[in-house]
Structure formats: C-alpha cells, structure tokens
Amino acid sequence: MPGPADSPLIRALRGERQDRPPVWFMRQAGRSLPEYRELRVGTRMLDACLDPALAAEITLQPVRRHHVDAAVFFSDIVVPLKLAGVAVEIEPGRGPVFADPIRTASDVKRLIRTPPAAITDASGPIREAVGIVAAELGDTPIIGFAGAPFTLAAYLIEGGPSKEHLRARAMMHADPASWHLLATWLAEVAEVFLDAQVTGGASAVQLFDSWAGSLSPADYREFVAPHSRQALGARTGDGSSELTVPRIHFGIGTGPILDDMRLDGLADAVGVDWRLPLDEAAAVLGPDTTVQGNIDPALLQAPWPVLAAHVTDVIERGRAARAHILNLGHGVPPETDPEVLTRIVALAHGEDVA
C-alpha cells in the first residue's frame, strides 16, 4: 500500500517536480457546500469543531465532491484557545470574538498562566476526528493547521477582527516584553494543536499567518518570525524541527517579506496570495522551497473560459518553482459555486473539461 507519504501533495512538499500540480483549496470545507450548510444547522461553529464525528464528516465532504489531492482538517485557528479555557466565540459573517481582549501586561500574565500542555490534555476530540478522517481516506493526505502567533494575537489583542491590527502592532513597540511573552505562549499553543493533529494522522501542516502582510519587514523579522519558527517546532541550534511532517507557511500580502516567510528553510512550501505571479514568487523563494497558490478567488465568479485561462496561467508560472501545489490565493468565498471548484480540480488533473 503506497499511503499518504507517496501522495502527489507530499511529494510536491518534498520538492519533487511532477507533470501536474496537486490541488486543494483553503476553506474547501465550509459554506460553499450545501451539504455543509445542512449539517451545520443548529450547531455553533466551535461546537461543530469539537464534535469528532461531525468535524470528520465536514472534512471529508469536499474530498468526496471535488476529488482534491488533500483534506484540510475542519477546525479553526481559535479552537486551541477555546481548549485552553479562553472565552471565544465565532460570530457568523464576522469571525472570532473574545470576551476579554488581551491589552495590558497583566492581561498577558493572566492568560499565559494556563500551560499549553492543558490543550494537549483537552485535545481528545481533535485527535479522534483526524483519526476518523485518516481511516476513511487511505492514501489521501490530511493537512493539519494552526494560526501563527501574530495572526492569533491580532484577534486576541483587538478582541475581534480588525483591518490593520493596530493594537497588536502597537504592543510590539509599546511593551515588547509583554509581546514576546504572549507570542511565545501562542507559539506553544500552535505547536500543541499541530501535534494533536499529527498524532491523529495528519501528513502535513499549514501555519496560517493570514495577517502577516500588515507588518513592516523589520517588525516581521524582530517580533514575529522567531515565534512562527517555534510554532513549527523549530529546535534551537541546528534549524531542524520537532515536527515529523512537512510544513506549509501561508500569509496574505506577503510580497515584501516573501523570503522571510521561508523561515530560514523551515517551511517546505510557502503559500502566495493572488497579488504576486508565481514565477516572480519562485524567483524570490529560490530552489529549496515549493510554492503554493495562487488562483484569484475573485475569478471564481468569472465565465469558465476566463477562469480556465487564469488557472492554466497559474500552473504555467508555477513551473518556475522546484514544485507547485495549486490552491487559491486565499480561502474559498462562501458564495462560490462548488461546481466551479470541481472543474478546476479536473483541469489540474488533466481531465477533459469543456
């Protein structure tokens, strides 16, 4: 039996060039699917994430429907915070909202009193859900994920979604000691959440630093990159990682910090949004990094010939990298017609799509 280790996704992450790029979509599980909307009726988002049978079924839905080359575990970046006892809810149409934003040095001290190991103890439903998916999928790999320290901090410090993440960026300079305490704790939170998913059977992980593009390169390097390295299991010294599976690192608007997103080679692949053509991204990332991306989610609304030409262009440009994983430049918008996603997968797989 070949197993997920020999799947196209994992081979691409190892840097193996293939005739066709493996394909999956960020947010492939979710509101674009009628079968998802039906299952979610009457269940709050975070309750759904902590119900192993439900989370497993939602994870499997897009794999069955679209024949993508990977499942991405259905959960959310705030789930480990919830498991740590933090008061958080996900408001439909808005995003994560925290009852007690972390604004001061004493807020940080209070928060980090909960040891991240408590999350490991509470992660039974996560390990169980991933285990159900792994048993069902066989050779198709599961991607586990976590929110990077900065993106999690941006929500925690603001108390909810924000445009420029001003309060988080302010804390770095106004109270760097508190910032580093908070980010160190969040890195451990991400690490244990990833570990639970890998223990359950995930074959790769993606660290979402969705909002990293709001940082100056200098701030990214000083206040964020070391913590993201820790989240991905970096050992001090030799640059290797405690994690036993390949690592993808993703952010939006990261053009100015793209080389930094490699995290000194810790990331096997870097996810690129729609703003930067993949051949230009590959030139920056060099010969040791796989690229992931970068179909413009806006084009999912375009007539098929327009979208097909765009997808073909993305695939062509992706050949400039050592290997390419086809994806969107950000998540699937909820209003997307799922048939369009199925068609993109067929096109990427070289099937006849009129």
Q: Which residues bind ligand CP3 (CB under 6 A)?
A: 26-31, 40, 45, 72, 74-77, 90, 92-96, 145, 208, 210, 331
User: Token pair for residue 170?
Assistant: 């302010």
Q: Are strands 269-271 and 247-250 parallel, antiparallel or unpaired?
A: parallel
- Pick 136 or 175: Cβ nearer ligand CP3: 136
**Count of alpha carbons within 13 Å of 227, Cβ hemisphere only?**
28
Active site residue 76: yes
Residues 11, 20, 31, 103: which is the catalytic one?
A: 31
Interacting residues of 321 by C-beta distance below 8 A, sequence separation 6+: 278, 281, 282, 285, 289, 290, 291
- Pick 15 or 161: Cβ nearer ligand CP3: 161
Work out how close the CB of 190 gets to ligand CP3 at its nearest, in angstroms, rounded to a whole number. 12
Q: Which is nearest to 168 in space by CA: 71, 101, 235, 222?
A: 101
Residue tagged 């639970």 (tokens): 196
Task: Indicate the helix (H) or strand (E) that contains 250.
Answer: strand 247-250
Work out how close the CB of 76 gets to ligand CP3 at its nearest, in angstroms, rounded to a whole number. 4
Work out how close the CB of 181 gets to ligand CP3 at its nearest, in angstroms, rounded to a whole number. 23
- Pick 208 or 220: Cβ nearer ligand CP3: 208
- Pick 322 or 327: Cβ nearer ligand CP3: 327
Active site residue 40: yes
- Pick 95 or 253: Cβ nearer ligand CP3: 95
User: Residue 132 and residue 116: Cα distance in Å, rounded?
Assistant: 25
Active site residue 36: no
Residues 36, 65, 76, 268: which is the catalytic one?
A: 76
Work out how close the CB of 319 gets to ligand CP3 at its nearest, in angstroms, rounded to a whole number. 26
Length of the chain: 354
In order, the DSSP letters of 308-346 are: HHHHHHHHHHHTTSSSEEEEESSPPPTT--HHHHHHHHH
Residue tagged 């998913």 (tokens): 197
Q: Are 26 and 280 in contact (CB under 8 A)?
A: no
- Pick 97 or 105: Cβ nearer ligand CP3: 97
The DSSP output letter for 159 is S
Active site residue 247: no
Work out how close the CB of 112 gets to ligand CP3 at its nearest, in angstroms, rounded to a whole number. 21
Residues 65, 69, 127, 155: which is the catalytic one?
A: 155
Active site residue 31: yes
Work out how close the CB of 200 gets to ligand CP3 at its nearest, in angstroms, rounded to a whole number. 15
User: Residue 130 and residue 73: Cα distance in Å, rounded?
Assistant: 7
The residues annotated as belonging to the active site are 27, 31, 40, 76, 155
